[in-house]
Amino acid sequence: MNMRIPILKLHDCLLVSIQWELDDQTALQFQEDLLHKIHETSARGVVIDFTSIDFIDSFIAKVLGDVISMSKLMGAKVVITGIQPAVAITLIELGIRLEEVMTALDLEKGLEKLQRELGD
Amino acid sequence: MMDSSVKIINEWDIVAARQLGRNVAKELGFGTVDQARITTAISELARNIYLYAGQGEITIEKIESGTKKGMTIISRDAGPGIPDLRKVMEDGFSTSGGLGAGLPGVKRLMDEFSIESTPGEGTLIQSVKWLK
């Protein structure tokens, strides 16, 4: 039942598209996989796209916030993209703020933002 | 009234409970934002059961009151109970190191919310979302 989220390499960035509802184990596995992939590829930036995700609960938000901080420790910047209106509304109502996190409307804008941040 | 339950014993049951809730919400005609609110509320309640009580049950009921339609989420466990209900309803209070935004979040996501808890006996939480 445990599925791995694919992590793609594009130049010096990693691309992740979350395509299905995350259970706890998949989320934790992803955290580990992403950090290993950053280490392996010396990636400087990561875009995680949530376009297909229709809700994020406090556990997923915590895992996500943590993996962003962990990536930062390793020298990689993370941009979150594609957060749906319903997801943004419920996260704030739930009382979760991901304020330090870089975001963009979609994958394309996320990659542009990352390129600017990385200065090339 | 149709109702259905999911027993919460492991992490997979959290997924099953929220999928059941989302399906019922869709059937009733809730929009995408309310579907997300309901799914998230169930996920938080089911996770609370898993983390604090070990096991319990989430029951989803379709309800009607006059011309109004809606759904109730009932979270029931026979866990240790909550000694200080007022404290647990304060924002930012969590006994599990930041896991779970807690019950105030669930209350904000839903239209009605009630909680009964007896230390040593368990906790019963009922929350309602009305179709607008």
Task: Mutation target for B interface from A90, A91, A96: give the one with most B CBs within 10 A.
Answer: A90
Write down all domains in chain B, each with its CATH number in brackets.
Answer: 3-130 (3.30.565.10)
Show which of residues 15-34 on chain A sit within 8 Å of chain B, judged by CB atoms: 21, 23-25
CA distance B26 to B29: 5
What's the domain range around A109?
7-118
CA distance B36 to chain A (A): 5
Question: Is A75 a domain residue?
Answer: yes
The answer to whether B6 faces chain A, any CB pair under 8 Å, is no
ipTM of this predicted complex? 0.90
Do residue B33 and residue A85 have CB atoms under 8 angstroms apart? yes
Question: Is A1 a domain residue?
Answer: no
Q: Which of B53, B56, B42, B49 is CA-nearest to residue B106?
A: B42
CATH of the domain at A109: 3.30.750.24
What is the side-by-side strand order in the sheet with B56-65?
A: B3-8, B56-65, B68-77, B122-130, B112-118
| Overall number of domains in chain A | 1
Helix, strand, or coil here: B67? coil
Tally A–B CB contacts below 8 A.
78
Do residue A86 and residue B91 have CB atoms under 8 angstroms apart? no
pLDDT, one tens digit per residue, over B57-104 is 999 999 999 999 999 999 999 999 988 888 888 776 555 444 445 899
pLDDT, one tens digit per residue, over B14-37 is 999 999 999 999 999 999 999 999
The answer to whether B77 faces chain A, any CB pair under 8 Å, is no
- pTM value is 0.91
Cα three-residue angle B3-B7-B13, rounded to 5 degrees = 110
CA distance B37 to A56: 10
Is residue A110 within 8 Å of A47, Cβ to Cβ?
A: yes
Is residue A27 within 8 Å of A59, Cβ to Cβ?
A: yes
